[in-house]
């Protein structure tokens, strides 16, 4: 076991991975980063629900050994760095962690702490389930038709930070190189970003999406891309995805082209262009179940879909490397600084990220108990301000009171 300067390792055991399956002990050590801004409020509320649900289900036979790890403003205060090396080491060593939102320090040397965490730990799959809970206000007529899981690739694409600023010697050098080598005319003062999409990166995210569909009895996987225009990046993503179906999944899955849209009892792997997809998730969301896409598309799509079922205050997320088992579950909204320490905001995004974490640990009874209690609370219209302002007859409660109501409904 590594030694840590600031992290105190509690009594408990490590979560491990064997033959691709997560092995959870009775007292797993789980890291938590409470987060900045509204982070401490929503973390406290969520932890109360997590511990109560575990106790409710296992009657004290199992429990989470929480281990505080640091990132963001608190890390800077405690460890003198916004993203201490020992935080990364602890996630690598103990495998599972959950976090609240983090402020990105301006001039702190990071593009974004969240993006850095995902890239440094190679958490290549950003998993965002999107479903509706009855009673939650939504801007669409039939939010219940949305029940999708997005697998967004986390490490490549224009998102990976390979950018050169306009009018710098570096960008000018690249502009000249492109002219000399490829005859490309790029305006000299352009800022430039690079969009790498690799066969390995594509295949591991599509593999994760198909494996999820198999495990969860889903009928289709849709590859979303803009390959009609960006042929060698987004188009290649689609081609490599279909190639993978043939190479590794031909007994359980089939591509649209190979079955003419009739997959029998196999999983149908199809593709759609990103702009059409954004229309169809509004007009016929039932046609999509599991979605695999690249980093930037996935970013837009997850938030657009979240809006259909109640907004980012309720959207959970997980960042996973299925080979190493390293995973980081997280609120998908930001730090909402104007509400910090007011005990006001909706903790549902962290709560539902915890539900994903319990599923990942194989404690699905706990996940189900939390979902049931949460649904009951929404249906009884006991909600935080964000939902209350959109609902008739709601009882508006504080963040901590909402957690208390969920615990009562367990
Ligand atoms: P934000 O913190 O997500 O807040 C935007 C708005 O969303 C809030 O003003 C609030 O809307 C609503 N909101 C967010 N979380 C909510 C919750 N739990 N319950 C209810 N409503 C919620 O976005 P931002 O203001 O653009 O970003 C603030 C900081 O967060 C930035 O430093 C950014 O870099 C960081 N950030 C971090 C993450 C992350 O850690 N994953 C993600 C995004 C942004 P109303 O004002 O309408 O009430």
pLDDT 10s digits, 291-321: 999 999 999 999 999 999 988 778 899 999 9
> 392: which residues sit within 8 A by CB, 6+ positions away?
none
Predicted confidence band of residue 112 (pLDDT cuts 50, 70, 90):
confident
| SS3 (DSSP) at 332 | coil
Confidence band of 107 (pLDDT split at 50, 70, 90): low
Cα separation, 269 vs 241, whole angstroms: 9
Spatial neighbors of 117 by CB under 8 A, at least 6 apart, are 71, 83, 88, 123, 319, 328
Ligand 1, residue 386: give the atom nearest the CA.
20
What phi and psi, each to the nearest 5 degrees, are found at residue 13? -130, 160
Residue 3 CA, ligand 1 centroid: distance in Å: 35
Please, are residues 149 and 127 in contact by the beta-carbon 8 Å criterion?
yes
270 lines ligand 1 (CB under 6 A): no
CA dihedral for 270, 276, 279, 284, sign (positive or negative): negative
Distance 345 CA to ligand 1 centre (A): 10
> In DSSP terms, which residues pair with 41 in a beta bridge?
none
pLDDT at position 2, please? Answer: 66
Contact yes or no for 182/175 (Cβ under 8 A): no
Burial class (CB in 10 A: 0-12, 13-18, 19+), 78: middle
Least confident of 208-212, 269-273, 331-335, 344-348: 331-335
The DSSP result for 142-180, as a single string, is: -GGG-EEEEEEE-S-SGGG--EE-TTSHHHHHHHHHHHH
Measured from the CB, is residue 103 less than 6 Å from ligand 1?
yes
Smallest CA separation from ligand 1 atom 27, residue = 334
Q: Give tens-digit pLDDT for 59-91.
A: 999 999 999 999 999 999 999 999 999 999 999
CA dist 250 to 235, 253, 269, 356, Å?
Answer: 21, 5, 11, 28
Q: Is the CB of 102 under 6 A from ligand 1?
A: yes
Nearest to 285 by CA among 126, 132, 125: 132
Residue 110 pLDDT: 65
Evaluate: CB of 254 within 6 angstroms of ligand 1: no
Q: Is the CB of 99 under 6 A from ligand 1?
A: no
Is residue 241 within 8 A of residue 198, CB to CB? The reply is no
Distance of CA 334 to the CA centre of its chain: 13
Q: What stretches of 216-294 show up as alpha helix (H) in DSSP?
A: 236-248, 256-259, 274-283
The pTM of the whole model exceeds 0.75:
yes
- Residue whose CA lies nearest to ligand 1 atom number 44: 334
pLDDT attached to residue 109: 64
| Residue labelled with tokens 């104007």 | 338
Question: Helix, strand, or coil here: 9?
Answer: coil
Ligand 1 neighbourhood includes 22 CB (under 6 angstroms):
no
Work out the pLDDT band at 108, boundaries 50, 70, 90.
Answer: low
- Mean pLDDT, the chain, whole residue set: 94
In the predicted structure, residue 111 carries a pLDDT above the cut 80: no
> Of all protein residues, whose CA lies closest to atom 13 belonging to ligand 1?
313
Q: Mind telling me the catalytic residues?
A: 159, 226, 275, 299
* pLDDT at 310 (0 to 100): 86
Q: Residues of the chain with pLDDT > 90: what percent?
A: 88
Tokens of 13: 């055991």
Would you say 239 and 233 are in contact if contact means Cβ atoms under 8 Å apart? no
149-207 pLDDT, tens per residue? 999 999 999 988 899 999 999 999 999 999 999 999 999 999 999 999 999 999 999 99
**Partners of residue 10 on adjacent β-strands:** none
Q: Which residue has the higher pLDDT, 266 or 312?
A: 266
Q: How confident is the model at residue 113 (pLDDT cuts 50, 70, 90)?
A: confident
Ligand 1 atom 4: residue of nearest CA: 336
How far, in Å, from the CA of 350 to the mean position of ligand 1? 13
Q: What is the pLDDT of residues 372-406, one digit of tens each?
A: 999 999 999 999 999 999 888 999 999 999 999 99
**pLDDT tens, residue by residue, 240-255:** 999 999 999 999 999 9
């Amino acid at each position: 076991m590594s030694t840590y300067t600031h992290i105190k390792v509690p009594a408990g055991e490590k979560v491990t991975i064997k033959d691709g399956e997560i092995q959870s002990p009775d007292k797993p050590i789980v890291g938590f980063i409470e987060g900045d801004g509204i982070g401490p409020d929503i973390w406290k509320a969520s932890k109360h629900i997590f511990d109560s649900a575990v106790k409710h289900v296992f009657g004290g036979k199992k429990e989470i050994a929480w281990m505080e790890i640091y990132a963001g403003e608190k890390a800077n205060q405690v460890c003198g760095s916004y993203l201490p090396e020992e935080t990364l080491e602890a996630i690598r060593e103990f495998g599972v962690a959950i976090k609240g939102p983090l402020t990105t320090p301006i001039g702190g040397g990071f593009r974004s702490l969240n993006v850095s965490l995902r890239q440094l730990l190679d958490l290549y799959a950003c998993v965002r389930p999107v479903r509706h809970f009855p009673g939650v206000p939504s801007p669409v007529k039939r939010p219940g038709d949305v029940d999708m899981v997005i697998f967004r690739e986390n490490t490549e694409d224009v998102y990976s930070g390979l950018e050169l600023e306009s009018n710098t010697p570096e960008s000018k050098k690249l502009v000249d190189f492109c002219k000399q080598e490829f005859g490309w005319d790029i305006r000299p003062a352009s800022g430039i970003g690079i969009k790498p999409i690799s066969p390995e990166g594509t295949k591991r995210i599509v593999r994760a999406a198909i494996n999820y569909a198999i495990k969860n009895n889903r009928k289709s996987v849709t590859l979303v891309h803009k390959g009609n225009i960006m042929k060698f990046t987004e188009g290649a993503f689609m081609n490599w995805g279909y190639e993978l179906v043939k190479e590794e999944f031909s007994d359980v899955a089939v591509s649209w082209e190979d079955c003419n849209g009739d997959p029998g009892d196999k999983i149908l792997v199809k593709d759609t262009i990103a702009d059409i997809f954004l229309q169809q998730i509004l007009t016929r969301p039932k046609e999509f179940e599991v979605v695999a896409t690249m980093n930037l598309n996935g970013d837009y799509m997850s938030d657009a879909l979240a809006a259909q079922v109640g907004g980012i205050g309720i959207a959970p997320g997980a960042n996973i490397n299925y080979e190493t088992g390293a995973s980081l579950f997280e609120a998908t909204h930001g730090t909402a600084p104007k509400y910090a320490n007011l005990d006001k905001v909706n903790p549902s995004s962290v709560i539902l990220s915890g539900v994903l974490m319990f599923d990942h640990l194989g404690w699905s009874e706990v996940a189900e108990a939390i979902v049931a209690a949460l649904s009951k609370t929404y249906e009884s219209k006991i909600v935080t301000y964000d939902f209350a302002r959109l609902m008739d007859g709601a009882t508006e409660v504080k963040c901590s009171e909402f957690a208390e109501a969920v615990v009562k409904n367990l």
